[in-house]
C-alpha cells in the first residue's frame, strides 16, 4: 500500500523505499534548512538551483495603501 510512500521534492515521483537521497535544503516560507527526499543527487541540485534563481528575483510590492 503506497499511502505513505515518499516522493521526490523535485519531480514528485514516488521513491522506492531505501533508494531515497536526503538533502538539507531551504524551503520557501520556512526559516533555515530542512531535510527533503529526492530520487537522486541530480534532482537535489536542480531543486537548489531553481530555488536560488527564484530567490534572486525582485519582489513586487503588494500595491496596498502603504506600499
Task: Please report, for the chain, the start and end positions of each structural domain, with discontinuous segments joined by +.
Answer: 1-55
Q: What is the grid cell recorded at 50?
A: 531553481
pLDDT given at position 43: 94
pLDDT given at position 55: 85
What does the DSSP assignment read for 1-46?
A: --TT--B-TTT--B--TT--EEEEEE-TTSSSEEEEEESSHHHHHH
* pTM for this model (two decimals): 0.75
Name the band, by pLDDT with cuts 50, 70 and 90, for residue 45. Answer: very high
Amino acid at each position: 500500500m503506497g499511502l505513505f510512500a515518499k516522493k521526490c521534492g523535485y519531480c514528485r515521483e514516488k521513491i522506492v523505499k531505501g533508494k531515497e537521497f536526503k538533502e538539507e535544503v531551504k524551503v520557501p516560507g520556512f526559516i533555515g534548512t530542512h531535510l527533503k527526499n529526492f530520487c537522486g543527487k541530480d534532482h537535489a541540485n536542480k531543486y537548489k538551483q531553481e530555488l536560488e534563481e527564484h530567490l534572486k528575483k525582485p519582489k513586487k510590492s503588494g500595491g496596498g495603501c502603504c506600499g
